[in-house]
Amino acid sequence: MKLSNAPIKMFVNITKWILFMLVITNGQLLNNNNNNNNNTLENDNATAASRRTHQITTILDGLLKNYDAHIRPNFGEDPTKINFDILVSSFGPIQDMDMSFTMNCYFRQRWRDERLQFAEEVGVLSLSTRMLERLWRPDTVFHNSKYSYLHTIPTSNRLWRLFPDGSIWYSSRITVKARCNMNLKNFPVDVQICKFFIGSFANSAADIQYGWRLGNNNSVNFDTKVLLSQFDLIRFPQYDEIIDMNGRNFSMLRVDFVLKRHMGYYILQVYIPSSMLVMLSWVSFFIHREATADRVNIGVMTFLSLATLSFDIRNYTAAVSYLTALDWFVIMAYAFLLASLLQFAFVHYFTKFGYGEPLLRYQGSIDSFTINEDNGTTARDFKTNSSSCFSRSQDIHRKKSQTERKLYLRNIQYYLRQFWFCLSGNDSYKRALRKRASRFGINSRSKLDGFARIAFPLSFALFNILYWFYFLHLQR
């Protein structure tokens, strides 16, 4: 029995083992299947991507096959149309010194190349710019740029997209410094028009035609509000035009940036200071005429201050040879200062000869003219001396006799003495002068001064009205 049982037991054990093994392998198989499933999903995805890449590569290869980048689209037929628009990311500065303006923009061009059409369902392709090098591109230039550069850091700031219908959208970020011819005749009350020309370098209008993509007056846009230190950007109309250059018609785009200058800076820096200097010179009319030094000082000091001011102004404007509005103002301020100095010269001249002064009462005192050779210089002597001095000139005019010569010699002596007193700082002489002044009322107002007190402010006001009326009117 034992012998007969053993094989059965063994058989059962073996079957158990086999079953166990089967279960394990099945599990493993199941697991493998699952893994496989996951793998195949991933593979599916991978293959989908690669299939797509492959599809596009084939498309691009197909496009570039037989593509000649030297020949423009539509060759031999209508001109290729390039649609342009500009997004200005920063505008300025505008420099008077070298008559230029700078702007940083995204220049966007769009054109259509039928040779590059592909299936609609592939969608818009955004490709590396290296591919673009192998395609035809318009030779667009900025005709009046002085200096411009494409931003290349950290990478070349360009992008392009290919649309299924063969349209290409090409955008590049460029900083342009362009020439702007300025007429500074009305500076700083001026409006400047800075023109910007875009066109093809070599292709005439028969080959390439430019147009504004979003229509005239809408195709130049600003990223942010334009804030310039010296100007207001009023408007920027856009035009497309055909220009004849050397007998060939070229298609060209133009933007006119119309800029109006802020006056504030110049009003604070020039107009107010120079007007104040002119007003300061009028103070001279209210100082009595014997104060020669004071009045001459006021005149000369204001003149010199204005000179400093006007040299300073010329430093920050272009060195144009004609007179600007600002120069006119400064010149007129000079003229007013000069006039007030000359006015004093006249007042002084007439003061010397008497102008119906009370001093004339002492005409006859020439006879009492005595020169004290000895040291006994008293206040009384000086009094008579000085009064005779004032009437002296009239006597000279009247009598032309030999006493004139005598008088002349005496005068020289008198002046020498006066000079000596001045040098030695003679106190009694000074006292005598002071006494004389109060006694004879020498400090009477000159009629010329009275006239100038009204005439100068009035004429300056009139000049200002005319000046501002003329230039502000011109600005409009």
Ligand X SMILES: *[C@@H]1O[C@H](CO)[C@@H](O)[C@H](O)[C@H]1NC(C)=O
Q: Which residues bind ligand X (CB under 6 A)?
A: 34-35, 37-38, 41-42, 45, 216-217, 235, 237, 242, 244, 247-249
Q: How far is the CB of 204 from ligand X (least distance, A)?
A: 7
Q: What is the DSSP string of 324-387?
A: PHHHHHHHHHHHHHHHHHHHHHHHHHHHHH-SS-GGGGGGGGGGG-----SS---HHHHHHHHH
Which residue number is nearest to ligand X in terms of Cβ? 34
Question: In terms of CB distance, is 156 or 221 closer to ligand X?
Answer: 221
Distance CA 294, CA 347 (A): 14
Distance CA 282, CA 81 (A): 69
Alpha helices in 201-323 (DSSP H): 264-266, 272-282, 292-315
Q: How far is the CB of 206 from ligand X (least distance, A)?
A: 7
Question: In terms of CB distance, is 38 or 372 closer to ligand X?
Answer: 38
Q: How far is the CB of 286 from ligand X (least distance, A)?
A: 54
Distance CA 469, CA 263 (A): 15
* Helices then strands, each counted (H, E), the chain: 10, 13
Going by C-alpha positions, the residue among 345, 348, 388, 81 that lies closest to residue 206 is: 81
Q: How far is the CB of 258 from ligand X (least distance, A)?
A: 9
Question: In terms of CB distance, is 42 or 98 closer to ligand X?
Answer: 42
Distance from the Cα of residue 93 to its chain's centroid: 6
Q: How far is the CB of 279 from ligand X (least distance, A)?
A: 43
Q: Which amino acid is at 270?
A: V
7 upstream amide cis, omega within 30 of 0: no
Q: Which amino acid is at 230?
A: Q
Q: Which residues contact 433 (CB under 8 A, 6 or more apart)?
A: 382, 386
- Give the strand pairing for 140-142 and 145-150: unpaired
Question: In terms of CB distance, is 244 or 367 closer to ligand X?
Answer: 244
* Number of neighbouring beta carbons within 10 Å of residue 370: 11
Q: Which amino acid is at 400?
A: K
Q: Which residues contact 226 (CB under 8 A, 6 or more apart)?
A: 88, 91, 92, 233
Q: How far is the CB of 256 from ligand X (least distance, A)?
A: 8
Question: In terms of CB distance, is 191 or 291 closer to ligand X?
Answer: 191
Q: How far is the CB of 67 from ligand X (least distance, A)?
A: 30
Tokens 């039928």, residue located: 114
Q: What are residue 199's DSSP bridge partners?
A: 141, 252
Question: In terms of CB distance, is 42 or 223 closer to ligand X?
Answer: 42
Check: CB of residue 263 under 8 Å from CB of residue 293. Answer: no
Check: CB of residue 184 under 8 Å from CB of residue 317. Answer: yes
Question: In terms of CB distance, is 256 or 381 closer to ligand X?
Answer: 256
Q: How far is the CB of 42 from ligand X (least distance, A)?
A: 5
Question: In terms of CB distance, is 76 or 247 closer to ligand X?
Answer: 247
Tokens of 271: 């107009």
Helix (H) or strand (E) holding 432: helix 427-440
Q: How far is the CB of 217 from ligand X (least distance, A)?
A: 4
Question: In terms of CB distance, is 193 or 396 closer to ligand X?
Answer: 193
Q: How far is the CB of 37 from ligand X (least distance, A)?
A: 6
Question: In terms of CB distance, is 84 or 421 closer to ligand X?
Answer: 84
